[in-house]
Amino acid sequence: MRKWEYKIVDSNDVPSDGVFKGRNRAALEAYLNQLGAEGWELVNIDFLELEGRREFVGVAKRERSQ
């Protein structure tokens, strides 16, 4: 039987462009691509774009190595 591990992903893990600017789109994409390279697959994500600030939180999973 396949077994999974889960990870909470959060835009707070990405460096900010400043308090009022939020996170840079390219930095967010680089973070998500790095997770993919590590084998993580997003299974749920909630984006919030408010006044130009990009924020998200979600859940990723990958198959657990025995």
pLDDT digits (tens, 9 = 90+) for 30-45: 999 999 999 999 999 9
For residue 1, the SS3 value is coil
Count how many domains the chain has: 1
Strand pairing of 53-63 and 41-50?
A: antiparallel
Q: Where are the beta strands (DSSP E) in 11-52?
A: 41-50
Q: What is the DSSP letter of 32?
A: H
Residue 46: closest CA among 8, 16, 6, 13 = 8
Q: Which has more pLDDT, 29 or 66? A: 29
> What is the token pair recorded at 40?
């993580």
pTM above 0.85, yes or no: no
> Residue 15 sits in which domain range?
4-63
